[in-house]
Structure 1
Amino acid sequence: MTRKVRRWSAAAVGVALVGGGLIVTRAQAAPDLPARSAEQLLVDVQSPTTRTLSGTVQTSTDLGLPALPTTQGTDTSGLTGLLTGDHTVRVWLDGTDRGRVSLIGNNSETTMVRNGTDVWTYASADRTASHTTLPAPSSPAPTPGTPATPQQAAQQLLAAVEPSTTVTTTGTARVAGRPVYELVLTPAAREKTLVRSASVAIDAQTHVVLQVTVDAVDATHHAVQVGFSSIDYATPDPKLFTFTAPAGTTLTEKPAPTGTEPAPTPGGTTGPAPTPGGTTATAERPKVVGDGWDTVVVQKVGTLPTGSDTSTQTQQAQQMLDALPKVSGSWGSGRLLQGTLFSAVLTDDGRVAVGAVPADQLYAALG
């Protein structure tokens, strides 16, 4: 398989990851579709036959993380809430520059809307909204740190996958009532990663990625499932892409990305990295160690404030760190956060190392 084709395979995975939970009903008979090779499917996914759709996405995330003081009782209705638990997302797309994504919470809703160069976000929980004007029509809209549609997910995964991946097809199935082909991306044996495999479901007729599932090496259940439970390829109502802030909303204007900010942090945000206490460290570009599935990102984030700082945010951050196990080595010392799909180390000298790798890979990168 050529390098180019392998990269296409990674793209396919990213595309699907954004969508939602595992929706395939295995009790249904697999559709009878013409045979397609993995290489053919990877080409298909680069050229969807439609760029308009609306649908409901189910997401399920279980990264095997410990229950920390700062995560207990936390409101997960915001877009970052997609990082854990089960969620329902409504999606509307019309071309490449008009879209709407709404994360439905128990008693609240978080919405992001793009219409041309205008991007709005709205959180009903605290009735706040923000508006950004993009610098040019060709500029991509800022996206949440977590994918909200299968297409976004595939793009993010593509950036992390190198030719050190085996791509196979496992046949056909159904997702959201649509016939799909299934691809599986498996890291090569030499890759020191916590990811066992990632599977992608591609609509047999439209080539749109409808579902992505990521499995961890040491887990018996899916770590991430993102997929459509229902989908309609008709053009959405244009009114959906016009945003009007509800009465009583606090609206903030935010500057557009300039392209000069530091590279995105592992959480998906840009700009100077925030410390656990909420302060901002001097912006430094992260160091990337390794490639492919076992890439580690090391970023200087600063240390927690000391002395008289008794803010709630700082105290919560300190409680979170105290709950994590202490680790040390030739690289220094710090605290380890370890899940089934990724590991992170926050060092006492203010660095953070993150990757979909075992902890010893982080220690090597810090060294």
Structure 2
Amino acid sequence: MKWMPAVAVPAVIVAGVLAVPLQAGAAVDLPEKTPQGVLELAAGSTVDTFSGTLEQSSELGLPEVPSTGDAATAEFADALDLLTGSHTVRVYQNGDDQSRVQVQDTMSERNLIRNGSDVWVYDSADNTATHVTLPADAGATGDTGESYTPGELADKFLADVTPSTIVSLAENTQVAGRSAYELVLTPNTDDTLVGSVSIAVDAETGLPLRVQVEARDADEPAVSVAFTSLSLEAPAADLFSFAPPAGATVSEETLPTKDDAAHAETDQSGATVIGSGWDAVLAVPAGEDADQLAELTASPLYTQLTDAVDGGRALSTTLVSVLITDDGRVFAGSVPVERLQAAAAQE
């Protein structure tokens, strides 16, 4: 099960947006910019203090998980819930090391809270909490140790995405009452499930306000996340303090240091990436996590959630496909199943 989030979550994160529609005929008048100019605006954004409400919506075409009553199925269903349907999310950010994300469910709430080196994950539905102490070398999210000016970042991004991606601008828009430029990334290949990715960039601050991912030949976004309200003022300090409620089941976890993580990557280097860009395929050879894969394929859920195809079984969504071959290899990507089968045949 470990490789499933590694495949699905990036597709969702890169994804995005429930558009906040403009009134018919409404226009947003902004200074004219080129796509590179909008990239420079986003790269130069210094906003790290804000609070707001996000609306997230997903239409991935995932099959419904049947209720079997066992813990493993329930855990998988909970994870799948975050990738499907609609959710309202409250977000708070104060600098690099204070943040809070609240996923508001019908009768409960899930929280992810970071306050310095302390990270808490709390689910009010079953009153469970997990505490993680970040290692000293964790640093700030996105800290690469490299320094670029906004223009250099824009140049680097354009160099990385072209010629695999057509970068353009759509009509200016409004998100959460703020004017924004609409940056559009269109794959320059037919061998991907992704039709386009749209990013609304705040015209004043460069903060991304909305991201939309559309599947190829689809009328509606497959995944969408957008601010519906936004304040750039510092959130109250007590929002980042957390103590488990009375009776909560609390577990302690330890994250590896960067050196440990680098060593683990070296030890588990069997996975490879075939191709590059939008039609790249992740290939995991047979024998990697063999016990977990055997447990997965033995589950009744496996046959209910996958379809039999030549050479194995496949899980298909509007944005991601996964192929598990008869000999235990795994192939995944934002590509049609046929592309995974072709990759499997060449390995």
Report if TM-score (shorter chain) is over 0.5. yes
Q: After TM superposition, list the pairs within 5 Å mapping 1:32-47 onto structure 2.
A: 32-47=29-44
Match of 2:302 in 1: 320
1:47: how far off? 1.8
In 1, the alpha carbon distance for the partners of 2:338 and 2:297 equals: 29
CA deviations 1:81-122 (Å, max 9, x no partner) are: 321111110000011111000111111111001111111111
Q: Residue 181 of structure 1 contacts residue 201 of structure 1 at CA under 8 Å; is this kept in 2?
A: yes
Match of 2:329 in 1: 351
Residue 50 of structure 2, aligned match among 32, 49, 53: 53
CA deviations 1:150-200 (Å, max 9, x no partner) are: xxxxxxxx8xx73211110113111011111111100113x5111111111
In 1, the alpha carbon distance for the partners of 2:207 and 2:50 equals: 10
Instruction: Give me the CA root mean square deviation.
Output: 3.3
Q: Residue 185 of structure 1 contacts residue 198 of structure 1 at CA under 8 Å; is this kept in 2?
A: yes
1:101 paired with 2:101, answer yes
Match of 1:248 in 2: 247
- Matched position secondary structure for 2:102: strand
Q: Residue 137 of structure 2 contacts residue 257 of structure 2 at CA under 8 Å; is this kept in 1?
A: no
CA deviations 1:240-279 (Å, max 9, x no partner) are: 111111111111110113233489xxxxxx99xxxxxxxx
- Matched position secondary structure for 1:363: helix
Q: After TM superposition, list the pairs within 5 Å mapping 1:64-213 onto structure 2.
A: 64-69=61-66, 81-136=81-136, 138-140=138-140, 162-163=161-162, 164-189=164-189, 192-213=191-212
1:118 aligned partner, one-letter code: D
1:320 aligned partner, one-letter code: Y
Match of 1:23 in 2: 20
Q: Percent identity at matched positions? A: 40
> Structure 1 length as normaliser, TM-score?
0.75
Match of 1:297 in 2: 282
Which segments of 5 or more consecutive residues in structure 1 lack a partner in the other structure?
1-12, 143-157, 264-269, 272-281
1:140: how far off? 4.3
Instruction: Name the stretch that deviates more: 113-122 or 24-33.
Output: 24-33
1:362 paired with 2:340, answer yes
1:26: how far off? 4.3
Closer, same or farther: CA 120–79 of 1 in aligned 2, 3 Å: farther
Closer, same or farther: CA 14–170 of 1 in aligned 2, 3 Å: farther
In 1, the alpha carbon distance for the partners of 2:293 and 2:137 equals: 41
Closer, same or farther: CA 251–75 of 1 in aligned 2, 3 Å: closer
- Matched position secondary structure for 1:228: strand
In 2, the alpha carbon distance for the partners of 1:343 and 1:218 equals: 16
1:66: how far off? 2.9
Q: Residue 63 of structure 2 contacts residue 305 of structure 2 at CA under 8 Å; is this kept in 1?
A: no
Q: Residue 343 of structure 1 contacts residue 357 of structure 1 at CA under 8 Å; is this kept in 2?
A: yes
Which segments of 5 or more consecutive residues in structure 2 lack a partner in the other structure?
1-9, 143-156
In 1, the alpha carbon distance for the partners of 2:12 and 2:313 equals: 34
- Aligned residue pair count: 311
1:129: how far off? 0.8
Closer, same or farther: CA 339–305 of 1 in aligned 2, 3 Å: closer
In 2, the alpha carbon distance for the partners of 1:51 and 1:16 equals: 19
Q: Residue 18 of structure 1 contacts residue 227 of structure 1 at CA under 8 Å; is this kept in 2?
A: no
Closer, same or farther: CA 326–17 of 1 in aligned 2, 3 Å: closer
Match of 2:312 in 1: 334
- Matched position secondary structure for 2:254: coil
In 1, the alpha carbon distance for the partners of 2:337 and 2:224 equals: 24
